[in-house]
Amino acid sequence: MKDRYLSVDQVAELLGTTTRFPRRLIEERRIRYVKVGRHVRIPESAVEDFISSRTVEPLRRPRPSYRRAA
């Protein structure tokens, strides 16, 4: 499986955040990353895993039934 490696700037753009957010994820080790010399790269699959693990599904509640007053 070939995985595309993204820079911190690319991950920030993909997530719609500043570069500070992916850097904090790396510092806190909340996302997988690879060190290539002095550069940090994040596998695209790691970003997908991060997003899917934090996706919140909506609750399925029955619709309230309103009755007319007699």
What does the domain layout of the chain look like in residue ranges? 5-53
When pLDDT is cut at 50, 70 and 90, the band that residue 62 belongs to is confident
The confidence band for 70, taking pLDDT boundaries of 50, 70 and 90, is: low
Structure tokens at 15: 């997530």
Statement: residue 69 has pLDDT above 80: no
- Which of these, 47, 50, 52, 51, lies nearest to 8 by C-alpha position? 47
pLDDT value for 59: 87
User: What is residue 1's predicted lDDT score, i.e. its pLDDT?
Assistant: 56
Q: Note the maximum CA span of the chain.
A: 77
Instruction: Report how far residue 36's alpha carbon sits from residue 51's, in angstroms, rounded to the nearest whole number.
Output: 24
